[in-house]
Amino acid sequence: MKLYCLSGHPTLPCNVLKFKSTTVMLDCGLDMTSTLNFLPLPLVQSPRLSNLPGWSLKDGNAFLDKELKECSGHVFVDSVPEFCLPETELIDLSTVDVILISNYHCMMALPYITEHTGFTGTVYATEPTVQIGRLLMEELVNFIERVPKAQSASLWKNKDIQRLLPSPLKDAVEVSTWRRCYTMQEVNSALSKIQLVGYSQKIELFGAVQVTPLSSGYALGSSNWIIQSHYEKVSYVSGSSLLTTHPQPMDQASLKNSDVLILTGLTQIPTANPDSMVGEFCSNLALTVRNGGNVLVPCYPSGVIYDLLECLYQYIDSAGLSSIPFYFISPVANSSLEFSQIFAEWLCHNKQTKVYLPEPPFPHAELIQTNKLKHYPSIHGDFSNDFRQPCVVFTGHPSLRFGDVVHFMELWGKSSLNTVIFTEPDFTYLEALAPYQPLAMKCIYCPIDTRLNFIQVSKLLKEVQPLHVVCPEQYTQPPPAQSRRMDLMIDCQPPAMSYRRAEVLALPFKRRYEKIEIMPELADSLVPMEIKPGVSLATVSAVLHTKDNKHVLQPPPRPAQPTGGKKRKRASDDIPDCKVLKPLLSGSIPVDQFVQTLEKHGFSDIKVEDTAKGHIVLLQEAETLIQIEEDSTHIICDNDEMLRVRLRDLVLKFLQKF
């Protein structure tokens, strides 16, 4: 059993598991932090961004000044943003049989895999995952495609040139694998390969293994996966949460008794408690708005935004913010808000019960009804007519490199009355802000990551007790910035096995058994014999048929009757000869009684010696030696076949035959 690790990002995993002749890809996350190296794509022409000076080498060589621009001491690539793909060379991806998706954030690389690697398999995911995943991809494609950029920079990627660049460009890894965003056509084609599944549904893969999605509590439709055969069980735990937010709670019990538990997608900010962060978010939002400032919340169009809107729903009246407009701007804003209301079966119990009242499960419906929350596909069109300040704007993309957020950063960045509040944990906020410096607006970092923290992981592992834990290397040591915080790493026994990008891991796990079925007629013909109480044995003569990873014992064909004359050999006649089998023996030989029997039969001068494995009975007169061991008995006599047969018969008296 092997694990091929194609992604180095612990929360955007992409691993391939080879297990019992199947090749299963676990998630295909897309690392978008690479976009932080690019200049933002402004929706409206930005003189500031277009007038940034080109970057030149120390010696004054300016051949890169078209590709690289300098802003407040940082260098950015002036090109269409590119993403860091999972490793494609480590394993032939056309051999991947299935892809299991855990949540909508972990499927963003899907079009790259399904459309460009020769992949012919099936993708499994839950319905909300697919629908919301589609929204995220659609938004991404839209953000990039609506700001066409003529230029595509590639010179800087040359290894010799990259060495000369300042950090972080110099240290960017795998730049040669960075790719531009996919198209909507590719998205549609990739999504068409997905087969929808429900929680706890058992899916057979070629008869060899069974895969089952379990609720992981992190997002709408998010799942962990069980991959098991009859005797082995691998659990794949991706983004999971034990907090009470909108999704169905995490199913922990089904993860018990795993041989291997692959653990990914823990919280990216283990020191920040989501509840405190929500409090911080609300306080800062209220403070800014009360002072007449605007609040910008860069976010994804789905996920934490639902919880934030719910908190604000409860908070705005008490904070005296009822008259402040909340805007949600995304090409998929409308779909996201509406989708969230229709996936009742995937929601937590409280929200499910609301559906029967009937009430919309999320209170943002009421915010929309009362005009407190308004949503728009883009800043163009209706929004510009309705726009009123001070206000709160939720919009993407959290990287601040594309999407409507770029416009608001340009618009509001110059006033210290305004605040940008970062709630998505995927991007370092200082890096995200780098191309907007110098910035007067206040920046608040309240990353809300509801995924498991290390304390919860430790409890989970104690609860489910896997034999082995496999996780990204980042989880086996404290974060570099807090190197003494031993509580910020996975602590389990035996220690977790770690992996990194482009590594192949042999899982410490041997398969011992295989299940074989017996045909009923064959089973009928068996005559079990009780060897000892509770244990019966029977000899089986059969033919082993193996097809689709299923093994079946069938009755042996009857010996071919000579049909006379016809000598033509047929394929079905080509079966091994079934010889008449000698009976099998069982039992043990009690040495004392055996010696007495020998004496009764006229042997004398018998000596018994104990050996490491059993006994040796010496018949000195007959110059014969009988070696009795646990699983064998040897009679060694010198060419006296008669004597050997006599002795053999005496030995056989003590053994059972069947």
Binding site for another protein (CB under 8 A): 271-273, 276-280, 282-284, 286-287, 290-291, 311, 314-315, 317-320, 446, 482, 484-487
**How far apart are CB 437 and another protein at their closest, in Å?**
22
**How far apart are CB 276 and another protein at their closest, in Å?**
4
Measured from the CB atom, is 115 or 487 closer to another protein?
487
CA atoms of 338 and 585, how far apart (whole Å): 73
**How far apart are CB 487 and another protein at their closest, in Å?**
4
**How far apart are CB 492 and another protein at their closest, in Å?**
15
**How far apart are CB 285 and another protein at their closest, in Å?**
8
Residue 237 CB neighbour total at 10 angstroms:
29
**How far apart are CB 105 and another protein at their closest, in Å?**
24
**Is beta strand 233-237 parallel, antiparallel or unpaired with respect to 260-263?**
parallel
**How far apart are CB 315 and another protein at their closest, in Å?**
5
**How far apart are CB 319 and another protein at their closest, in Å?**
6
Measured from the CB atom, is 100 or 289 closer to another protein?
289
CA atoms of 454 and 266, how far apart (whole Å): 8
Residue 22 CB neighbour total at 10 angstroms:
20
SS3 205: strand
**How far apart are CB 488 and another protein at their closest, in Å?**
8
Q: Which two tokens stand for residue 537?
A: 């044995």
Measured from the CB atom, is 94 or 318 closer to another protein?
318
Measured from the CB atom, is 80 or 282 closer to another protein?
282
Q: Which two tokens stand for residue 87?
A: 């490793």
CA atoms of 284 and 443, how far apart (whole Å): 10
Measured from the CB atom, is 88 or 283 closer to another protein?
283
**How far apart are CB 354 and another protein at their closest, in Å?**
22
**How far apart are CB 420 and another protein at their closest, in Å?**
16
Q: How far is residue 130 from each of residues 101, 194, 532, measured CA to CA in Å?
A: 9, 8, 57
Within 8 A by CB and 6+ apart from 532, the residues are none
Measured from the CB atom, is 196 or 417 closer to another protein?
417
- DSSP element (H, E) containing 411: helix 405-412
DSSP percent split of the chain into helix, strand, coil, nearest 5? 30, 25, 45
Measured from the CB atom, is 437 or 482 closer to another protein?
482
Measured from the CB atom, is 283 or 627 closer to another protein?
283
Q: How far is residue 24 from each of residues 35, 96, 119, 129, 472, measured CA to CA in Å?
A: 29, 6, 12, 18, 18
CA atoms of 31 and 45, how far apart (whole Å): 28
Measured from the CB atom, is 482 or 539 closer to another protein?
482
**How far apart are CB 308 and another protein at their closest, in Å?**
12
Measured from the CB atom, is 286 or 333 closer to another protein?
286
Q: How far is residue 139 from each of residues 28, 92, 212, 329, 397, measured CA to CA in Å?
A: 18, 30, 30, 11, 9
Measured from the CB atom, is 320 or 583 closer to another protein?
320
Q: Which two tokens stand for residue 587?
A: 């039992």
Residue 479 CB neighbour total at 10 angstroms:
15
Q: How far is residue 67 from each of residues 39, 168, 626, measured CA to CA in Å?
A: 10, 15, 89
Strand order in the sheet with 550-554: 516-518, 550-554, 543-547
The candidate with the shortest Cα–Cα distance to 25, out of 97, 133, 84, is 97
CB under 8 Å, gap of 24 or more: what pairs does 614-623 form? 615/591, 617/591
**First-to-final CA distance of the chain:** 39
Measured from the CB atom, is 287 or 595 closer to another protein?
287
